[in-house]
Amino acid sequence: MQLYNNLSAKERAALIEQAGKDRLTISFYKYAKIKNPELFRNHMFLAWDKMDVLGRIYIATEGINAQLSVPAENFNDFKEHLDTISFLENVRLNVAIEHDNFAFLKLKVKVRDKIVADGLNDETFDVTNKGIHVGAEQFNELIEDPDVVLVDMRNHYESEIGHFKNAVTPDVDTFRESLDIIEEDLREHKEDKKLVMYCTGGIRCEKASAYYKHKGFKNVFQLEGGIINYARQVEEQGLENKFIGKNFVFDQRRSERISDDIIAQCHQCGEPADLHTNCANEACHLLFIQCDSCKEKMENCCSTNCMEINRLPYEEQKALRKGQGNSNDIFKKGRADHLPFKKDLRNIFEVLDKKS
């Protein structure tokens, strides 16, 4: 019984190209009680591997969080399989606006303590007491209310390339950081403001909305299905699109364009740009925004030092990395000190001041 990948990413990419068939990029999540995550993980891997499903899936006792791609011709079989699992029957599937056959190159189904690293003790509050879910049309109406504080529950490098108009974009590296910051900054407005949240696909808001209700917020709303579902509803229903820029995604695509606006800038030269890249120096691998001109000039590197290292023969690079971990810059994601055009993000007080 094979419960692991037997092809490298390179080999898989070659097979996908050779097949020449369209693949759909999909995400979904579901909070549910899973008694034996390891057994459930094995079941999912075996079933999906037969359908040529690829992706990154996290399973925990609290549920499942999946980002994957499936051959278009196998989509119905995939959906039918989900419907055989009681808590996944008719689960909402967020289908991407822009598909990429190479979005995922391996099937990784992993058992984790949590399906989202939120750092919360779920025993201290009712995680099922969630906020009000709203679709794109109601969301558009809601965020025009002067008593609404619209909060982006994503990290700084996600919101930098795209966000909803007038949204608060916390300057955080992790989801857990934003929870305390938002509560502190809005502590005086738990009753007189409507807290409206959004994220990529909805999963972070599921936990956050319950957490904020536990913390005393009286009016809590969340965008159903996140930005991914919003963009699809806007397109299908002919609604006004209030999202500007690109939606950051966690696969090889790195982003989906939702509007033509470019709201970010190259971290190296300051010119308009919104394409993330990883530094070509494997000892760095920093995620940052780089325009095409700087990409060519800097050879896909974030600094001259990394460029010089990346020019060395592979064995020399490998010797330099021996015994060394990745640079701490990898965790800064576009905020490394040597990047001259890092973005300064707004805080909640600034947004509230503008509304008052």
pLDDT (average), residues 98-116: 91
pLDDT of residue 142: 96
Question: Structure tokens of 170?
Answer: 């916390």
Summarised one tens digit per residue, pLDDT across range 241-264 is 999 999 999 888 889 999 999 999
pLDDT of residue 132 exceeding 70: yes
Tens digits of residue pLDDT in 28-79: 999 999 999 999 999 999 999 999 999 999 999 999 999 999 999 999 999 9
- pLDDT value of residue 345: 53
**pLDDT (0 to 100) of residue 308:** 94
Name the nearest CA neighbour of 178 among 153, 200, 195.
153
| Predicted pLDDT of residue 99 | 81
Q: Which amino acid is at 219?
A: N
Q: CA angle, 96 as apex, 268 and 32 as ends, to 5°?
A: 110
Give residue 347's pLDDT. 47
Q: What rounded mean pLDDT belongs to the chain?
A: 89
What integer pLDDT is reported at residue 314 of this predicted model? 87
201 and 256 Cβ atoms separated by less than 8 Å: no
A 10 A CB-CB count for 180 gives 12
Mean pLDDT for 124-141 is: 92
Higher pLDDT, 218 or 100: 218
325 — pLDDT class (breaks 50, 70, 90): low
Instruction: Tell me what the mean pLDDT of segment 211-224 comes to.
Output: 95
Per-residue pLDDT reduced to its tens digit, 139-194: 999 999 999 999 999 999 999 999 999 999 988 888 888 899 999 989 999 999 99
Residue 71 to residue 7: CA distance in whole angstroms: 17
pLDDT, position 22: 93
Coil, helix or strand at residue 193? coil
Instruction: Indicate the helix (H) or strand (E) that contains 194.
Output: strand 194-198
Model pLDDT for residues 265-298, shown as the tens digit of each residue: 999 999 999 999 999 998 888 999 999 999 999 9
Assigned token pair, 134 = 């709203």
pLDDT at residue 131 greater than cutoff 90: yes
Mean pLDDT over 288-312 rounds to 95
> What pLDDT shows up at residue 349?
46
Predicted pLDDT of residue 344: 63
Query: Which residue ranges form the domains of the chain, and what is each CATH number?
Result: 9-111 (3.30.70.100), 122-237+345-355 (3.40.250.10), 276-331 (no CATH)
Identify the pLDDT of residue 333. 78
* Strand 243-248 versus strand 162-164 pairing type: antiparallel
Mean pLDDT across 299-320: 91
Q: What is the pLDDT of residue 18?
A: 86
Exposure string over 286-309, b if 16+ CB within 10 A, otherwise e = bbbbbbeebbeebebbbbeebbeb
Mean pLDDT, rounded, for 324-329 = 59
Average pLDDT, integer, range 105-124: 90
> What's residue 334's pLDDT?
76
**Cα separation of the two ends of the chain:** 62
Q: What's the pLDDT score for residue 133?
A: 96
Active site residues: 199
pLDDT of residue 20: 86
**Of residues 231 and 1, more confidently modeled:** 231
Helix (H, G, I), strand (E, B) or coil at 221: strand
Q: What is the pLDDT of residue 319?
A: 85
